[in-house]
Structure 1
């Protein structure tokens, strides 16, 4: 049984952190420098009392309303987040109740970052292909801003909060999910991490702030990213990932109409595009007004590509997610069914 993406919607919090506001706080960060390096002009930041489940519910309700979807047809809920409301219960169970979905559905959380949307699509396809579900609601939502130290100017310029909802169905959609490839290398786990908060390292109130060579401040309950190692990781593995999905799908780069990668930052994306030798017109970027929203970057970009009519005359689209874990995944979408 085929699995198809039928609809996507997303939600961005009301509060906006612009480059102008960052410059006011950190005058050494010039507005134009932030924009040119990151490709981001502003990011949306969740309110103090707004969490991943709240954004998930808002994104899903927007999906139902925007695309006239009967929520009673949903028979499985997948929720991807690394910033859950609680250790337990499962956030997906809370979201099911708040959305008023049937109690006969399956619901689960899975913890992945920038590769999470592609992994979620693969799980949805497996459920549908195995006859266990017909309509899977995949939601991605993150509040990374709550992990970032107020004086960590580097991470502050990159990450924004968001939620995205995608309906994957056995019925006809705007594209079919075809092949998938995956990768995992846990040796890079400590290069992108929130060390405290789990059971191994509970949150401590006695943390001392430390400052790096660039003046970024953080402690062990904040998000830490080793930018150099993450950049090296993507440069090594993303080209291999792209070649693997092309080979598995029996496609050449010329056969692909659009590449949509995880929207990490403009500098990294342009480096990857040039290294893989993808033309600019085939490489879609949509992060200017929302930043790096982790697992929601690809569905947001897909939504914007569809809105800008970039998907009206295409046959093959490649999605690739990569990051924290290290974890990576890619798939190809078939259009013109």
Structure 2
């Protein structure tokens, strides 16, 4: 079977404070965010997180069979960034490596991919790296996004385990009809980058951005989460034949405090069992769940033997839910 053996995370050096007197700052519950340097990439952050993990002595680099890198900020269109990370980390050339492009649900998807690789006999030790640098896509005067997102990376070691039921089951969902609710329109094959993509415009709420910047329809993303996340949690409980009372803790994608509190109340989760760990780092996209999980372990809210429900949701539109047992 499969289990999570260790997690580490890494933030860039630069930290920016949100205006404490801004009503929106108080609503979203984010006081500061970390921002990557101009020449610092998501892969750089991921490598730092991975090095921290290896320094813990939980696994040798030579023992990694597969590297999974979840990012929406690759170094290049090609080659695969995971291949570059493999060389920089000096992982063995017998190690498989691939990128997958997912955002807020990416960690849950990555756990499932790792479980599949291990339980099908293709790997014993999988290094799952999640990293994003949304700051590079955000216009500083687009306040619908600029005060929300922070840059970060997390490294998670998933290993073969003699215990049963440590990772899974999983529930997934996708609604591509909402793709344009959270999107960067220009820069891909559908809408190549050109001079028009760099023209600034102001929306009806006074936010300024270009077609090459991140766009988010906050109200529609909120409605999506309120519609799909409770159903997905219910589906997981049914699949595992459990109730909310069977879980010791709940780690949801750390989108913002307002959305998290709304989901907690809608699903009727005990406040003492519900993680909110984004005040000092913001929404770090694919890394929010592993960062929050590790923080809750570090402060003692989650202990060995605890059963934890993980819920990712966001860009895609995409969502994923899974159950884990802490070992």
What is the root-mean-square deviation of aligned Cα atoms in Å?
1.6
Cα distance in 2, alignment partners of residues 315 and 292 from structure 1: 25
Task: Give the match for residue 96 of structure 2.
Answer: 106
For residues 212 and 133 of structure 1, do their structure 2 counterparts lie closer, same or farther at Cα, with a shift above 3 Å needed? same
Q: Tell me if 1:300 matches 2:291.
A: yes
1:66-114, CA deviations, whole angstroms, 9 ceiling, x for partnerless residues?
3443111101000000110101000000000000000001000000000
Which of 233, 237, 246 in structure 2 is aligned with 1:242?
Answer: 233
Task: Give 4+ residue runs of structure 1 displaced > 6 Å after superposition.
Answer: none
1:247-306, CA deviations, whole angstroms, 9 ceiling, x for partnerless residues?
111110111111100000000000000011111011111111110000000000011011
For residues 64 and 210 of structure 1, do their structure 2 counterparts lie closer, same or farther at Cα, with a shift above 3 Å needed? same
Cα distance in 1, alignment partners of residues 305 and 205 from structure 2: 44
The alignment's TM-score, normalised by the length of structure 2, stands at 0.96
Which of 201, 204, 216 in structure 2 is aligned with 1:210?
Answer: 201
Task: Give the match for residue 144 of structure 2.
Answer: 154
Contact 2:149–2:283 (CA<8 Å) still a contact in 1? yes
Cα distance in 2, alignment partners of residues 52 and 264 from structure 1: 19
The alignment's TM-score, normalised by the length of structure 1, stands at 0.93
Cα distance in 2, alignment partners of residues 267 and 192 from structure 1: 18
1:92-241 alignment to 2 at 5 Å?
92-171=82-161, 176-206=166-196, 207-241=198-232
Cα distance in 1, alignment partners of residues 195 and 4 from structure 2: 45
Which of 54, 59, 73 in structure 1 is aligned with 2:44?
Answer: 54
Cα distance in 2, alignment partners of residues 172 and 153 from structure 1: 48
Cα distance in 2, alignment partners of residues 230 and 169 from structure 1: 34
SS at 1:31 equivalent:
coil
| Runs of at least 5 residues in structure 1 that lack an aligned partner in the other structure | 24-29
For residues 313 and 99 of structure 1, do their structure 2 counterparts lie closer, same or farther at Cα, with a shift above 3 Å needed? closer
Task: Give the match for residue 17 of structure 1.
Answer: 16
Task: Give the match for residue 317 of structure 1.
Answer: 308
Contact 2:249–2:306 (CA<8 Å) still a contact in 1? no
Point out the more displaced range, 245-254 or 100-109.
245-254
How many residues are aligned here? Answer: 326
Cα distance in 1, alignment partners of residues 254 and 237 from structure 2: 20
| Runs of at least 5 residues in structure 2 that lack an aligned partner in the other structure | none
